[in-house]
Structures are given as structure tokens and as C-alpha cells.
Amino acid sequence: MDNIMQDFSAWFRLVLAILAVWRITHLLAQEDGPGNLIFKLRKVLGTSFLGKLMDCFLCLSIWIAIPASFYVTRSRVDLILVWLAISGGASLLFKLQERTTLDDININISSNRKNNESGCKHMGCCGDNRRNINVNVKIEKDNASDTQPKSNSQMHMISLEYLEKSILTIIGKGTGMRYIFTTSNNIQPVDYRDVDSLLRSGMFRKLA
């Protein structure tokens, strides 16, 4: 009976550690934080190692999982496996939360909609400021690339217009390329291999 209770306790600590690592990592990598503290910290860190680390949930979870692994086990033999398991479990939760399937396209919608009639913001609004930083960086890179000579791959780009009013990050089915659309940047060149699947979503129209 004691062995059973010990096994149960170990599994409970593992699940607890995974949930705690997911929560802390999500706060640092995806949210603005209470009073925008995390958002302000991210701006201060800029493009430093810590700043880049806060942009990657998967990388950050590895570091956050280190102290959590000591909570689950003290065995040197098990420590590395427990450490990786905690990070892996938190990463799986993140992937399940992040992915939504729409007409065989993997879509992650970061909505920036207006308040509803009751005055409440949509769920998941914490993190809009962080997402807007990433969107602005993407737009600046796209504008800078306009002055560069076009490569063969750029010659096969087709302009699509995004018809919705929210911020959208979408991964092309054909190439795996990531596209970010906003209300102010709703027309973008898309690789021809991704065009058909994006059009089938009903959120885009092809420009002549």
C-alpha cells in the first residue's frame, strides 16, 4: 500500500509540475501580465538572449521546467527524464491550446476584436500588446524586403486580401510558411502553393 501511495504521489507531483510550468511559461511568453508588467519587461529586454527566449514557449519551458523537476524527484537517475517530461507535457498543452483546424489549415487566430455589447473584452485579450509587437516586426521586415531584388520564389507569389477584422497568424498548408494579416496589412503576397487552401477558408479573396 505504501508503494502504491508513493507512486500516486509521484504522478500527482508530475501533473502538478506540468500545469505549473505551462502556466508560468504561458505568462512569460504569451501574455502581457498584470498591469502590463510582462509586456514592459519584454520591451526592456529587446533582442537580448532573454528577450528572444520570452518569444519562444517551447524554449522557455525547458528552463522553467528545471526547478520543477526537483519538486517531482530527487533521484539523479530520473531527474533528466522528469525534466524533459515536464517541458514536453507543458509544450503539448500549449500546442493543444494554440492549434485550431479550419478546412485542413492549421490556424492560430490572435483576435483583436472590439469590446462586446456588455463592455467585456474577448477571452485571451491578455497578450494583444505582445502580439502587436510581433506583427509590427513582421510588417517592417516585409517592407524592407520590398527593396531587395526578387528571387525565383518571390516570382511565384500571389496577392491575397484578408477579409476579416482580427489579427490572424496562419500557416500555409503547402509550404509551412507563416503569414500574419492585420486590418492595416490585409493584402499580402502568398506563395502559390498556399493559395488554394487559404481561399477555401473563406477568409481571403484573390486579387487580380
Condensed to tens digits (0 to 9), the pLDDT of residues 95-127 reads 887 654 333 444 443 444 444 433 334 334 455
- Shared domain for 106 and 136, answered yes or no, is yes
pLDDT score for 127: 54
- Shared domain for 70 and 113, answered yes or no, is no
Q: Which domain holds residue 28?
A: 2-98
Q: How many structural domains does the chain have? A: 2
- Shared domain for 157 and 202, answered yes or no, is yes
Burial of 167 (0-12, 13-18, 19+ CB in 10 A): buried
Q: Residues 25-53: what's their mean pLDDT?
A: 86
Smallest CA-to-CA distance from 171 within 162, 180, 182 is with 180
Global pTM reads 0.52
- Shared domain for 200 and 126, answered yes or no, is yes
